[in-house]
Amino acid sequence: MRTRPTLTWEPQGDLPPASTDLSAVVAAVRAGGVVVLSGAGLSTESGIPDYRGEHGSFRRNHVPMTFQEFTGSDHARRRYWARSQLGRRQLAGAGPNSGHRAVAALAGAGLVTGVITQNVDGLQQAAGVRDVVELHGTLSRVICLDCGAAVDRATLDDRLRQANPGFEAVAERHRAAQVNPDGDVDLPDDAVDGFRTVPCTACGTGVLKPDVVFFGENVPPERVAACRSLVDGATTLLVLGSSLTVMSGLRFVRQAAQSRTPVLIVNQGPTRGDRWATRIELPLGQALTDVVAQTLPQT
């Protein structure tokens, strides 16, 4: 039996009401110095579901992999890599949406001076933002838990294909399975049985793990420090598409609030950071497109 991590949050007390007025966001962006903190909600319009939204993976009873489970069970690792083999092919077909492109336009104009993302899909970089702090890592890279060697995910994909020639037929039967925010898909046990993992090629025996922060794992302290530095220098912290349920993102909202830096949140549904922020409840793609139209010269 897999145990669901404690990942939910229910609003308590009276939270400030949300608005549908973008004027505060427009004013902040015009002033410049905005640092963006983005979550899974920014990628939903690219076809990647979030965890907690109306169509989120938690509503489909998806239980994400935890660090403790991955490191403690060979079966769990086989299940993850089998599911990831199918999931990454679907994820590779996703492209940046209008929200990603809007953030890139604002960064290119110098109005957004830092981007922190909780997403592991690489779509913000694909939209053209070069300096993105990937708070939870990236699915495009794999690391060895024993020797620390890193390799790109495409290289591992080739090795896993060679080690599992029969998996293509299995994968074909589940091609329509919906990809989860963590880059895998839910597969039945009989589709995972017999899947073979491969060791690290650098040390010969090490366990390979995607270079992402699993639930139950700590964000590397140097990454947290880089984010804190960005927030320290921000004139406004703009949160996009995150419920801020987990502390890894919420701590930066608290940091901004403690230093009296304004916090603006654009998210559909209440967030754990609402008591320290002004929240605008609008679909992200259109909202950010409107912000760009009101802040950048039109050519």
β-strand pairing of 34-38 with 236-240: parallel
Q: For residue 288, what are its two tokens?
A: 């950010």
Q: Which residues are catalytic?
A: 136
Q: What CA–CA distance (Å, rounded) separates 233 from 272?
A: 23
Short-list 293, 240, 245, CA closest to 273: 245
- CB-based contact 269:243 (threshold 8 Å): yes
- 90 is known to lie in a ligand binding site: no
Tell whether the torsion through CA atoms of 126, 113, 251 and 267 is positive or negative. negative
- 273 is known to lie in a ligand binding site: no
* CA angle at 181 for the pair 72 and 58, rounded to the nearest 5°: 80
- CB-based contact 99:283 (threshold 8 Å): no
Q: What CA–CA distance (Å, rounded) separates 44 from 232?
A: 29
Write out the H or E segment, with its range, that includes residue 263.
strand 263-266
- 119 is known to lie in a ligand binding site: yes
- 227 is known to lie in a ligand binding site: no
- The secondary structure of residue 282, as a DSSP letter, is S
Three-class secondary structure of residue 20 per DSSP: coil
- CB-based contact 278:265 (threshold 8 Å): yes
Q: Would you list which residues are annotated within the binding site for Zn(2+)?
A: 144, 147, 200, 203
Annotated binding site: 118-121, 144, 147, 200, 203, 241-243, 267-269, 284
**Which residues make up each annotated binding site for NAD(+)?**
118-121, 241-243, 267-269, 284
